[in-house]
């Protein structure tokens, strides 16, 4: 049955929810200070964010160097950037984040930043695609269970620094991985090992962009590049 095929995606989303909830508690502990220690707590939070930025940079580099066709990666980034800019994906996400902040009276800080960063980190990668395909084709959730454990640990750390938006990224994971699972029979022929490798390489470049933003070195609108992740599916047919 379809809902059992989705079990791996459900577990992954719940793992992120649980990890993010723990991270939010730690986030509150960093904010709640006594006896004039607010400045030190703020410095600690910034230090953790910069450390995460370095870790995210390493994750991105490890994935990006696996690219097999650099021209395909470049075309994906350029065309994806044009599509994302014209659709103003970054603006849409930020407006959604601002609406959530307004509805919650700003109690959860900058929701959009945590949502975008965590969504890309958890959704972009070979494990997300391969695990979802395995769940849809054979009902084997092993890869997604492994990914769930890794994502839960990561979400604790990310939510402690980036806040409530990380928790919302569980929706992105469920929608993306659940969609791949449900349509696995139809999309499996086009999601070859080569396509998945190139998608991961492009996605890893976006993760490097995220890390540079987290380190305060750039202000890249990474969300506008998101269409690039899916373009290798089309470009691999001609290159």
Residue pLDDT, tens place only, 153-211: 889 988 888 888 899 999 999 999 999 999 988 988 888 889 998 999 999 999 999 89
The answer to whether 114 and 163 have CB atoms below 8 angstroms apart is yes
- The whole-model pTM stands at 0.82
Cα 79 to chain centroid distance, Å, stands at: 21
pLDDT of residue 33: 45
Give me the domain span that covers residue 30. Answer: 2-235
- With CA atoms as reference, report the closest residue to 229 among 110, 123, 147: 123
pLDDT of residue 49: 78
Where is 79: in which H helix or E strand? Answer: helix 70-87
Give CA–CA dist 153/162, Å, rounded.
14
Cβ-Cβ contacts under 8 Å for 36 (sequence gap 6 or more): none
Residue matched to tokens 């009276």: 105
Give CA–CA dist 200/208, Å, rounded.
12
- 141, with CB counted inside 10 A (0-12, 13-18, 19+), is buried
What total of structural domains would you count in the chain? Answer: 1
3-state secondary structure (DSSP) of residue 233:
helix
The answer to whether 63 and 204 have CB atoms below 8 angstroms apart is yes
Token digits of residue 107: 């109690």
The answer to whether 84 and 224 have CB atoms below 8 angstroms apart is yes
Give CA–CA dist 195/193, Å, rounded.
6
Q: Greater confidence, 33 or 239?
A: 239
Q: What is the mean pLDDT of residues 93-106?
A: 76
Q: What is the mean pLDDT of residues 140-146?
A: 91
Q: What is the mean pLDDT of residues 104-121?
A: 78
Give CA–CA dist 97/169, Å, rounded.
12
- With CA atoms as reference, report the closest residue to 41 among 26, 19, 54: 26
Where is 169: in which H helix or E strand? Answer: helix 165-182
Q: What is the mean pLDDT of the chain?
A: 85
pLDDT at 76 over 90: yes
């Amino acid at each position: 049955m379809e809902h059992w095929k989705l079990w791996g995606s459900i577990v992954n989303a719940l793992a992120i929810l649980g990890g993010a909830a723990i991270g939010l508690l730690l986030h509150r502990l960093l904010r709640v200070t006594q006896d004039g220690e607010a400045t030190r707590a703020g410095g600690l939070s910034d230090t953790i964010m910069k450390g995460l930025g370095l870790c995210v940079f390493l994750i991105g580099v490890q994935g990006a160097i696996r690219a097999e066709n650099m021209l395909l990666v470049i075309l994906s980034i350029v065309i994806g950037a044009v599509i994302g800019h014209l659709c103003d994906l970054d603006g849409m996400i930020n407006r959604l984040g601002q609406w959530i902040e307004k509805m919650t009276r700003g109690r959860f800080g900058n929701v959009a930043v945590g949502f975008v960063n965590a969504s890309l980190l958890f959704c972009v990668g070979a494990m997300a695609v391969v695990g979802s395909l395995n769940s849809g084709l054979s009902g084997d959730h092993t890869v997604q269970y492994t990914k769930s454990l890794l994502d839960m640990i990561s979400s604790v750390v990310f939510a402690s620094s980036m806040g409530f938006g990380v928790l919302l990224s569980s929706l992105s994971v469920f929608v993306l991985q659940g969609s791949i699972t449900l349509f696995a029979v139809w999309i499996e022929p086009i999601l070859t090992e080569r396509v998945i490798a190139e998608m991961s390489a492009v996605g890893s470049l976006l993760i490097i962009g995220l890390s540079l933003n987290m380190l305060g070195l750039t202000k890249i609108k990474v969300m506008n590049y998101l269409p690039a992740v899916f373009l290798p599916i089309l470009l691999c047919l001609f290159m």
